[in-house]
Structure 1
Amino acid sequence: MRQFAEIEDLSDLVREALGARFRPVAVERLRGGSKKGVYRVHVEGPGGTGTGTGTGTGTGPTSVIVYRWADTENFWPATATERPGTNAGDPFAAASGLVPFLAAQRRLEGVGVRVPRVLLADGSRPGGADVAVVEDVAGGSLEALFGSDPARAANALAELATMLQIMHGQQNVSYGQVHLLERGGTAPGVSCEQVVTDRALADLAQAAGRDDRIASAACALEDRLRELAGRVAPRTRYGLIHGELGPDHVLVDADGLPVLIDIEGLMFFDVEWEHVFLRIRFDDRYEALSRPGLDPARLDLYRLAMRLSLVAGPLRLLDGDFPDRSAMRQIAEYNTHAALALLA
């Protein structure tokens, strides 16, 4: 049975981050994470009573967020975390832990993109867990604001479009995850489109082994992938992308500004990959984030590859004990229909 962190496990960490005047009084593990534990720790001390989130009206916060990277927090089955043929340098290898988190934090802060402030980071905790204590952004997610406060959400969406323009405008001659490139490493493969095609073929094989509809169309899907890949022209410069930027990975602070979270997979890559994901996740609101000049051939290839990823990934996750199983099945089902529709 999985053992998650309790308040006694996090109290010393939070006091170290905030100071001895703050006393943790409650902790809740937030839903949604599959690779790390995300905990909201409520505190009493200067500026707050421990019953709210974010910054109190006095001199300190009423809560903080603790990220905890540990084997017990990772719901991906050990045999299904990576696709066949991937390695630690692959742009789509699992990015988890303090090293990729801090590298992404530095890079984004360096270009003026808002991320939660890091109050403490420690990769030497007992039991081998990496931990970080970060600001608890008080405004909730952009996804929630779409329903509760459409006007505030629209303003944040416009700010997000500007933020993405800044990110995607950062150029690099190599592609790969930021923490890898920062250490002088190189990603495998000869191009983004080749990496995506190989990944999509592996996803197709794994999805076909789990879903009869994908299995029946596997030959046609493979032919379509190879046809679309053959249309893509070479490219030698790459933009900075989040990689999984949905409205649930955007918080909104007290000033109405978007704050990016789940940033460990930050990488230099074709920005078309980001825009395919943005279109899927933001749906009718995507137009506010769109930009001219995207390569249609890359968009076509990445659209099919993304759908296959969103079938295979949730099905792999369901091989383990991920708790929100209904949501994963719904994602896989929706994207199965979407992938097959692209053959029409």
Structure 2
Amino acid sequence: MTRVFLRPDDVRDLVRDRLGTDRRVTALDRLTGGTKKGVYRVGLDDGSSVILYVWSPTENYWPVSASVPDDPFADASGMVLFVTNHAALTAAGVRVPHLFAVDRAGRHLDDDLALVEDAGGVTLEDLLDRDPGRAAEPLARLGDALRRMHTTFGPRYGQLTDAWSGATGARAAEDVILDRALGHLDGATARDPRPAAARDRIAAHLRRLRDRVTPRRAYALVHGELGPDHVLVTPAGEPVMIDFEGLTWFDVEWEHAWLRLRFGAAYPALRPVPLDADRLEFYRYAQVLSLIDGPLRIAEGDFPDRRWMLNLAERNIAEALAAL
């Protein structure tokens, strides 16, 4: 695919129509890190800026792949999910970027888009790496936000656009994750000889972990892939959650397996809600398999930081095999 990204002239009419005729675009910078949508910082003539999200095939680096039909985390991208999830997080008292405008494809650009507040370029990951003392307050406030999410319950698991309609959640969530993980295992074994050689042992370990999980049906709001890079920190120390299109009603252990992985030594400062240890370990191992398959798949394409993805897969191959 030939990827064509936006230029300042492409967004001038959008900014004028949505932010006022007195606003003029002075700069347009495409921000790195996104894999499913384009993220741009739009500089304005008064010295301020806004963020533009664009959902376009040319901005999506993920190749098409098979998925479990009732996997609530599949295809978690798009303007409708963004707007729905933005409203749900706001209602739960979670700080997200202020939403200024959304546009359907065809009005200003060929793709769906959203204009949101520019909450700054400092992430919680930056602070944890460079200034842990300054990270303490936003980390604690993020923990408060997560507890509000994880005590806000829905009727069944699934994306918020589906769950209230009954479109998902017919079988046990852990069975969906088992099938999802086995699919990731198939993807990993097709791309690397080490998981291929251990496929039967990995699958048996995964099923043993599943069998230890006791039935439970209580589904809260989970971000899905929240890391410290998905939390911006304002100059006032306020954590702002981003990249929440994967927001889902699901088991809180799924969230905390990911949080433990991504926050590392800082994780206890989030003060999590009570968790089921067996469900947590099952979900953790399933996520390890996804972090082999996903990075290996995206590295086969033209993602600009291919080496980073291969290193991520390498670490998780070692993690998957160490559990055997």
Per-residue deviation, 1:186: 2.0
Task: State the distance in 2 between where 1:238 and 1:120 align.
Answer: 30
SS across alignment from 1:34 = coil
Measured after TM superposition, the shift of residue 185 of structure 1 is 4.1
Name the structure 2 match of 1:307. Answer: 288
Give the corresponding residue for 1:113.
Answer: 94
Contact 2:182 2:203 in 1 (8 A): yes
Question: How far 1:148 moved relative to its partner?
Answer: 3.3
TM-score, structure 1 as length reference: 0.90
User: Quick one: which amino acid aligns to residue 63 of structure 1?
Assistant: S
Residue 163 of structure 2 contacts residue 169 of structure 2 at CA under 8 Å; is this kept in 1? Answer: no
CA contact (8 A) 1:174 1:186 kept: no
Maintained 8 Å contact 2:143/2:272 = no
> 2:118 matched to 1:133?
no
The secondary structure found in structure 2 opposite 1:96 is coil
2 CA distance for matches of 1:33 and 1:262? Answer: 9
Partner amino acid for 2:97? P
Structure 2: distance between partners of 1:202 and 1:189: 20
Q: 1:161 aligns with which of 136, 139, 143?
A: 143
Change (3 A) 1:290 1:224: farther
Partner Cα distance (2:246, 2:230) in 1: 12
Q: Which residue number corresponds to residue 43 of structure 1?
A: 44
Runs of 4+ in 1 over 4 A off after TM superposition: none
Q: Shift of the alpha carbon at 1:292?
A: 5.1
Do residues 64 (structure 1) and 46 (structure 2) align?
no
Query: What is the 5 A alignment of 1:261-276?
Result: 261-276=242-257
Which residue does the alignment assign to 2:203?
A: 222
Q: Which moved more, 1:6-15 or 1:221-230?
A: 6-15
Aligned length: 322
The CA RMSD measured in Å over matched residues stands at: 1.4
Report the TM-score when normalising by structure 2. 0.96
Query: Structure 1 residues 34, 139: CA separation in 2 closer, same or farther (over 3 Å shift)?
Result: closer
In structure 2, the partner of 1:11 is: 12
Q: Please state how far the C-alpha of 1:138 moved relative to its aligned partner.
A: 2.3
Of 265, 271, 278, which aligns to 2:259? 278
Cα deviation for residue 147 of structure 1 reads 2.8
Which segment drifts farther, 134-143 or 119-128? Answer: 119-128
Work out whether residues 108 and 114 of structure 1, in 8 Å CA contact, stay in contact via their aligned partners in 2.
yes
Q: Identify the residue that residue 60 of structure 2 maps to in structure 1.
A: 74
- Counterpart CA distance in 2 for 1:292 and 1:33 is 30
- Paired with 2:217 and 2:253, the residues of 1 have a C-alpha distance of 14
In the alignment, residue 125 of structure 1 is paired with which amino acid?
Answer: G
1:251 partnered with 2:232:
yes
Deviation at 1:177, TM superposition (A): 0.9
Q: 1:196 matched to which residue of 2?
A: 177
- Answer whether contact 2:61 2:302 (CA < 8 A) is retained: yes
2: CA distance between counterparts of 1:250 and 1:67?
16
Give the percent of matched residue pairs that are identical in Structure 1 and Structure 2: 48
Deviation at 1:311, TM superposition (A): 0.6
Out of 142, 145, 148, the position equivalent to 2:124 is 142
Aligned to 2:316: 335
Deviation, structure 1 residue 189 = 4.9
| SS of residue in 1 equivalent to 2:246 | coil
Q: State the match for 2:103 in structure 1.
A: 122
User: Which runs of 5 or more residues in structure 1 are unaligned?
Assistant: 49-61
